[in-house]
Amino acid sequence: MLKTIEIDGKKVRFESKGSTVLRYKLQFHRDFLADIMKMKDLMSAGNNPSYEQIKTLDMEVFYNICWTLAKTADKNIPEPIDWLDEFEEFPIMDIMSELQELITKSFGTTKKKSRKNQKVK
Residue 112 lies in a domain: no
pLDDT given for residue 104 in this prediction = 80
Give the residue with greater pLDDT, 33 vs 51.
Answer: 33
Q: Which of 5-9, 49-53, 73-77 has the lowest mean pLDDT?
A: 49-53
Total count of domains within the chain: 1
Q: What average pLDDT score do residues 112-120 get?
A: 55
Name the most confidently modeled range: 11-15, 40-44, 57-61, 99-103: 11-15
Residue 39 lies in a domain: yes
Show the CA angle centred on residue 27, arms to residues 18 and 105, nearest 5°. Answer: 30
Total-model pTM: 0.79
- Determine the angle formed by the axes of helices 32-44 and 59-73, rounding to 10 degrees: 110
Size (the chain), residues:
121
Residue 49 domain boundaries: 2-105
Beta bridge partners of 3: 14
Amino acid identity, residue 66?
C
Sign of CA dihedral 2, 47, 39, 84: positive
Give the residue with greater pLDDT, 85 vs 54.
Answer: 85
Phi-psi region at 64: left, alpha or beta (left = phi > 0; alpha = psi -120 to 50): alpha
Residue 99 lies in a domain: yes
Binned at pLDDT 50, 70 and 90, residue 45 comes out as low
E strands, 1-121, are 2-7, 10-15
